[in-house]
Amino acid sequence: MNDDKISSIKAIDAALRLDGNPARVKEFYAQWAKNYDSDVGDACYSGPAIAAKLLSQHVADRAARLLDAGCGTGQVGRELQALGYSVIDGFDLSPEMADQATSTGVYRRVVGDIDMMRALEDFPGSDYDALLSIGVFTLGHVPPEALAVLAQLLRADGVLLVSTRSHYYEQTDFQQQVDALLDCGQLALEQVIWDAPYNHDGEAHYWVFRILG
């Protein structure tokens, strides 16, 4: 992708055609990092604001330790800071996107080059109070099995909040992964907002889980 010539709509469409290969996803976002914020702004990207507000309904403590998984350029972090949260870490597969997040000054720590499916290798024994992953569970990015990985980065009774693009939910076995984690007693489902705003070309579902001890 040539980020100097591609339109914002074409860039977003191209992201949806990725194949989930981490190396190719990383290369794509390396090229897109500089223009990402302006492009998704043009596309009326509302996911971060909706997610931050939703988290505030489940995590009252503004000093809670938060992890932004797949933080991108830091849009979720900025929304969280605006609501008064002060302890926010982040990671992303793309070092270039992580650099953009670091430059916001919002995060306590940001780590790039983190494959979400292997995040436990880089965050062993994590004890976060809440984790958000917004804009990550979308076609061509991560498999539904990543939900189980993220759950292990939280303390017992922690809050896990993720968005799923509607077409991702329809075309993957995400619901089956959720059902398996509920059935085995790892998660409890606290809230789902179905078909809520996300960006110009579609909606998303927003899920809030509680980690069971």
CATH number of the structural domain spanning residue 97:
3.40.50.150
Looking at the domain assignment, is residue 166 inside a domain?
yes
**How far from the centroid of its chain's Cα atoms is residue 50's Cα?**
12
The answer on pLDDT for 7 being more than 80 is no
Terminal alpha carbon distance of the chain: 44
Q: What's the domain count of the chain?
A: 1
Looking at the domain assignment, is residue 173 inside a domain?
yes
- Distance in angstroms (rounded) separating the CA atoms of residues 69 and 76: 10
Looking at the domain assignment, is residue 171 inside a domain?
yes
Residue range 88-115: mean pLDDT, rounded: 96
Nearest to 68 by CA among 33, 31, 39, 108: 108
- Bigger pLDDT: 30 vs 107: 107
pLDDT for residue 5: 38
Contact 71, 44 (CB under 8 A): no
Looking at the domain assignment, is residue 93 inside a domain?
yes
Looking at the domain assignment, is residue 9 inside a domain?
no
Q: Which residues contact 199 (CB under 8 A, 6 or more apart)?
A: 12, 40, 43, 44, 45, 46, 47
The answer on pLDDT for 4 being more than 90 is no
Contact 192, 209 (CB under 8 A): no
Looking at the domain assignment, is residue 25 inside a domain?
no
Lowest mean pLDDT among 15-29, 86-100, 110-124: 15-29
Nearest to 166 by CA among 130, 194, 128, 200: 194
Looking at the domain assignment, is residue 8 inside a domain?
no
Query: Where on the phi/psi map is residue 77: left (φ > 0), alpha (ψ -120 to 50), or beta?
Result: alpha
- Distance in angstroms (rounded) separating the CA atoms of residues 159 and 161: 6
Q: Which domain holds residue 152?
A: 44-211
pLDDT classification of 3: cutoffs 50, 70, 90: very low
Contact 44, 199 (CB under 8 A): yes
Looking at the domain assignment, is residue 10 inside a domain?
no
Residue range 118-140: mean pLDDT, rounded: 92
Rounded to two decimals, the pTM is 0.90
